[in-house]
Amino acid sequence: DIQMTQSPASLSASLGETVTIECRASEDIYNGLAWYQQKPGKSPQLLIYNANSLHTGVPSRFSGSGSGTQYSLKINSLQSEDVASYFCQQYYDYPTFGSGTKLEIK
């Protein structure tokens, strides 16, 4: 299995700030990476696929980048509705997920 190491586990930021969440794969996943947002009590929702492609309807303040084994999700101009847990998922091999980052507003 490809292991996904996600950091930080939790994050507190102010409204309007920019935050970055990182994911490291245990081997090269050739941009086969997606990011999901899970709001409290809800199901995960797709944000980004192919490491940097924004899913339909996702605000442009979300962006993804990276290559090889290192990937990141950036959220610009943090909004209150961004309070959620964020998960990375690789799909170069059978899917595995990062352990999640819980984002709160300071």
Partner 1 sequence: QVQLQQSGAELVKPGTSVKLSCKASGYTFTSNHMNWIKQTTGQGLEWIGIINPGSGGTSYNVKFKGKATLTVDKSSSTAFMQLSSLTPEDSAVYYCARSVRGITSYVMDAWGQGASVTVSS
- Taking the least distance from each CB to partner 1, the nearer of 13 and 91 is 91
- Taking the least distance from each CB to partner 1, the nearer of 42 and 74 is 42
Query: CB 10 → partner 1: shortest distance, Å?
Result: 14
Query: CB 25 → partner 1: shortest distance, Å?
Result: 14
14-20: long-range contacts (C-beta < 8 A, 24 or more apart)? 14/78, 14/105, 14/106, 15/78, 15/79, 15/80, 15/105, 16/77, 16/78, 17/77, 17/78, 18/74, 18/75, 18/76, 18/77, 18/78, 19/74, 19/75, 19/78, 19/103, 20/72, 20/73, 20/74, 20/75
- Taking the least distance from each CB to partner 1, the nearer of 17 and 39 is 39
Query: CB 79 → partner 1: shortest distance, Å?
Result: 22
Q: Which parts of this chain interact with partner 1 (CB under 8 A)?
A: 32, 34, 36, 43-46, 49-50, 55, 87, 89, 91, 94-100
- Taking the least distance from each CB to partner 1, the nearer of 67 and 99 is 99
